[in-house]
């Protein structure tokens, strides 16, 4: 077998199943996520301020729209993937109430620490915090009623694996709602190189992914609502 081992690896490499470069990219990208969000997590007020720019003043309406799309019922068990500093928690908590359960999942220890502080200040005792890579999404085996992710999936290096894991951990009939951003179209597209650079470096954002398309591929269905001239969208898919 050892004699043929390298040939097997070559076949896997050429077929794209085993790609050491890709694996290396993922590690480096995660390192970038760690670096970028370590800074934002230590300055949650600054992070809150940039929200206004990112959502062009409509952060409440659009975050609410993402949570609404997840069809969350009272007492539901909800996972927020890439929860950051917890800016969607108020909308989720409003829906699940004290009898519900919320798991806030993020790769950045600093973002999670800010989310934990925020949750404690608001007196929510039904939130559990889990650190890890969304591509692995190690959150136990108890299924969730809904999964929400706002401006998170586009920053996850292996976002397809993350979408598959979201599907796996949902109960049958459960909903994944994803809110994310797109580049400008039309005349405003002249600003795209600038937007790409600022949000690429400052937020590990990757605008080249077709998240609704990928959700359709993973779930077999997707519905999309757009906001702010199509620069933000909420997509939801049902398992």
Ligand X SMILES: C[S@@+](CC[C@H](N)C(=O)[O-])C[C@H]1O[C@@H](n2cnc3c(N)ncnc32)[C@H](O)[C@@H]1O
**How near is the Cβ of 150 to ligand X at its closest, in Å?**
4
The binder of ligand X chosen from 62, 65, 69, 87 (CB under 6 A): 87
**How near is the Cβ of 230 to ligand X at its closest, in Å?**
19
Q: What is the DSSP string of the chain?
A: -HHHHHHHHHHHHHHTSS-HHHHHHHHHHHHHHHHHHHHHHH-HHHHHHHHHHHTTT-HHHHHHHHHHHTTPPTT-EEEEET-TTTTTHHHHHHHH-TTSEEEEEES-HHHHHHHHHHHHHTT--SEEEEES-TTT----SS-EEEEEEES-GGG-TTHHHHHHHHHHHEEEEEEEEEEEE----GGGGGGHHHHHHHHHHHH---TT--HHHHHHHHHS--EEEEEGGGTEEEEEEE-
**How near is the Cβ of 155 to ligand X at its closest, in Å?**
4
Q: How many residues bind ligand X (CB under 6 A)?
A: 22
Choose among 208, 204, 136: nearest CA to 166: 136
The binder of ligand X chosen from 44, 65, 152, 212 (CB under 6 A): 152
The site map against ligand X for 155-174 (x = CB under 6 A) is xxx-----------------
**How near is the Cβ of 195 to ligand X at its closest, in Å?**
14
**How near is the Cβ of 138 to ligand X at its closest, in Å?**
11
Considering the rule CB under 6 A, would residue 134 count as an interface residue with ligand X? yes
Q: Is 84 left (phi over 0), alpha (psi -120 to 50) or beta?
A: left
- Give the range of 154-162, 183-191, 212-220, 221-229 binding ligand X by CB under 6 A: 154-162
CB nearer to ligand X: pick between 134 and 235: 134
The binder of ligand X chosen from 76, 79, 96, 151 (CB under 6 A): 151
Considering the rule CB under 6 A, would residue 106 count as an interface residue with ligand X? yes
Considering the rule CB under 6 A, would residue 108 count as an interface residue with ligand X? yes
- Give the range of 82-90, 95-103, 181-189, 214-222 binding ligand X by CB under 6 A: 82-90
Considering the rule CB under 6 A, would residue 181 count as an interface residue with ligand X? no
Considering the rule CB under 6 A, would residue 37 count as an interface residue with ligand X? yes
The distance of Cα 117 from the centroid of its chain, to the nearest Å, equals: 20
Rule CB under 6 A: which residues touch ligand X?
Answer: 30, 33, 37, 82-84, 87-88, 106-108, 111, 133-135, 150-152, 155-157, 203
């Amino acid at each position: 077998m050892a004699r043929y081992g390298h040939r097997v690896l070559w076949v896997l490499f050429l077929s794209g199943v085993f790609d050491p470069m890709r694996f290396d990219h993922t590690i480096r990208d995660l390192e970038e996520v760690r670096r970028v969000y370590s800074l934002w997590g230590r300055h949650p007020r600054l992070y809150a301020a940039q929200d206004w720019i990112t959502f062009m003043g409509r952060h409440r309406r659009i975050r609410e729209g993402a949570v609404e799309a997840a069809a969350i019922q009272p007492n539901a068990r909800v996972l927020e993937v890439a929860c950051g500093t917890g800016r969607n928690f108020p909308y989720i908590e409003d829906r699940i109430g004290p009898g519900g359960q919320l798991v806030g999942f993020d790769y950045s220890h600093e973002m999670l620490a800010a989310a934990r502080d925020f949750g404690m200040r608001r007196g929510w005792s039904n939130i559990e915090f889990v650190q890890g890579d969304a591509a692995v999404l190690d959150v136990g085996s108890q299924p969730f009623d809904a999964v929400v992710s706002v401006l998170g999936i586009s920053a996850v290096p292996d976002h397809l694996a993350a979408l598959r894991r979201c599907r796996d951990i949902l109960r049958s009939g459960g909903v994944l709602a994803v809110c994310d951003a797109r580049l400008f179209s039309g005349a405003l597209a002249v600003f795209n190189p600038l937007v790409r650079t600022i949000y690429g470096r400052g937020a590990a954002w990757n605008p080249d992914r077709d998240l609704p398309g990928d959700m359709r591929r993973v779930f077999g269905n997707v519905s999309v609502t757009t906001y702010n001239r199509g620069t933000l969208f909420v997509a939801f898919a049902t398992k």
